[in-house]
Structure 1
Amino acid sequence: MNESSIQSFLENLKHPDEVVRQAATEALWRAWFYQKGDYGWECIQRSQVLFSAGKVSQAEAVLTELIRDQPDFAEAWNRRAILYYFTAQYEKALVDCQTVVKLNSMHFGAWHGLGLCQMALANYAAAIRAFRQALKIQPYAIDNQRLLLECTAKL
């Protein structure tokens, strides 16, 4: 997928039509998952299967190896951040999310993840900043709107 297609999908995230936004969201996720071709996709899939089977340390090892092999693969970092978040390793998840947004500043999922981690760590001002950044990219994201309000109420 070329840069102009990516830019078009990012613009469509702001479209008033939900169908257009959903198609753009799916296209961006596809582009991010396949950034490193079949190799990257297969590793992410393998880690997800392991995680779903309760083999968390093995899933983490697959992602860590993928990151070692492909340190610029933002989605590998994002998937490991998700694993860390779901295992309540919020500091580790936070670091991985920060790496994702350095590699791909438009990764709305990582901005959302940053907000969730900051929220879990009771850093509400930082969570608000992350959710606002996610909303700049995906302004119709109801979850981020709700979480932003929740964090604001906790300040």
Structure 2
Amino acid sequence: MNPHHLTRLLDALKAADEGIREQATAELWHTWFHQKGVAGIERLVQSQTQLNGGDVRSAEAELTALIQAQPDFAEAWNRRAVLYYIQQRYRDAIADCQMTLELVPYHFGALHGLGLSYMALGQYAAAIQSFRQALEIQPFASVNQRLILECTAQLS
């Protein structure tokens, strides 16, 4: 992605206008999912179809094979983190979120997932840090604000 376009999208996430924020959010998700072209998106869709159908093992195998074939495909790491989170494999989810963030440091979805995983493990300070980082990128994401309050309450 063109660095100037990326800067515009990240700035748009902070815009007062909700429509502008939603458009930027959608465009970033589109970019992440389509990073590896048609073949990459087809494999992500295939894994999601398998997961939706209850075939978790095949979904995980598909994502793992995709990651092995294209280790720089951030959204493949992020999708596998989501799968691990659903399975309550929080430490695995954390590892994949961290890998996603190594590849795409502004991936607000991975930061949110990282926070959720830390929260599930009772690591509230780490969760708060992750949600705050997500808010730096998406300051209007009220879900992260609410989760920070929930984690803070757990610490007191």
User: TM-score normalised to the size of structure 1?
Assistant: 0.99
Q: Which residue of 2 aligns with 1:45?
A: 45
Q: Which residue of 2 aligns with 1:81?
A: 81
Structure 1 Cα separation of the partners of residues 41 and 136 of structure 2: 28
Overall identity of the aligned pairs, in %: 56
Structure 1 Cα separation of the partners of residues 149 and 31 of structure 2: 31
Structure 1 Cα separation of the partners of residues 66 and 103 of structure 2: 15
Cα shift at 1:131: 0.3
Q: Which residue of 2 aligns with 1:25?
A: 25
Question: RMSD between aligned alpha carbons?
Answer: 0.6
Question: Any idea what the Cα deviations from partners look like across 1:2-50, whole Å, max 9, x if unmatched?
Answer: 2221211111000011000000000000000011111110000000000
| Residue 63 in structure 1 maps to residue 89 in structure 2 | no
Question: What SS class does the counterpart of residue 54 from structure 1 fall into?
Answer: coil
Q: Which residue of 2 aligns with 1:112?
A: 112
Q: How does 1:109-148 map to 2 (within 5 A)?
A: 109-148=109-148
Structure 1 Cα separation of the partners of residues 12 and 149 of structure 2: 25
Cα shift at 1:124: 0.2
| Residue 149 in structure 1 maps to residue 144 in structure 2 | no
Structure 2 Cα separation of the partners of residues 51 and 85 of structure 1: 13
Structure 2 Cα separation of the partners of residues 111 and 80 of structure 1: 14
Q: Which residue of 2 aligns with 1:13?
A: 13
Structure 1 Cα separation of the partners of residues 4 and 29 of structure 2: 16
| Residue 3 in structure 1 maps to residue 15 in structure 2 | no
Letter in 1 for 2:110: A
Structure 2 Cα separation of the partners of residues 6 and 42 of structure 1: 24
Letter in 1 for 2:116: L
User: TM-score normalised to the size of structure 2?
Assistant: 0.98
Unpaired stretches in structure 2, ≥5 consecutive residues? none
Number of residue pairs the alignment of both structures matches: 155
Question: What SS class does the counterpart of residue 79 from structure 1 fall into?
Answer: helix
Question: 4+ residue stretches of structure 1 with deviation over 4 A?
Answer: none
Structure 1 Cα separation of the partners of residues 5 and 38 of structure 2: 20
